[in-house]
Amino acid sequence: MAEFVRFVNNGASLITPAVVEKVIRQLPVWKAEFTQIEAPKYPHLIDQLEFLANAVEDTYEGAYNELPYFALAEAVFALTYAHRKVDIIPDSIVDLGHADDSSVVRAVILQNERALEKYARAQGVDWKTITAEP
């Protein structure tokens, strides 16, 4: 997991407000795409991506003002990574294709647990459904 943490931290360091704005414009389409992910070995991935997308949207729109920028940047990176067609493990590989997506998302959730749990409470989301093992 340490390698994914470094990967996420490095990727998040490249997230600028302009990148966030670009992602926000694309997020409705991405959210629809995420619902189509078929990853039975990672049953929480779709819910986790939806949760991160909602956190990014709410923070960007000013509906939630308590998410630290580094948590926002890491969430944007995870969403961007999950949306990519080419990544570390091609999504087309049965049973393994979403392992890297899940690991990136888990790294973001674990590194920002307090801030994201606080967001979940504010939204009435059961934190246990987000943090459940993939």
**pLDDT tier at 133, thresholds 50, 70, 90:** low
Burial of 52 (0-12, 13-18, 19+ CB in 10 A): buried
Residue 84 DSSP class: -
User: Encoding tokens for residue 36?
Assistant: 């189509």
Rg (CA), the chain: 14
Each residue's pLDDT tens digit, 43-84: 899 999 999 999 999 999 999 999 999 999 999 999 999 998
What is the distance of C-alpha 27 from the center of its chain? 12
Each residue's pLDDT tens digit, 86-128: 777 766 676 777 888 999 999 999 999 999 999 999 999 999 9
Please tell me the pTM assigned to this model: 0.93
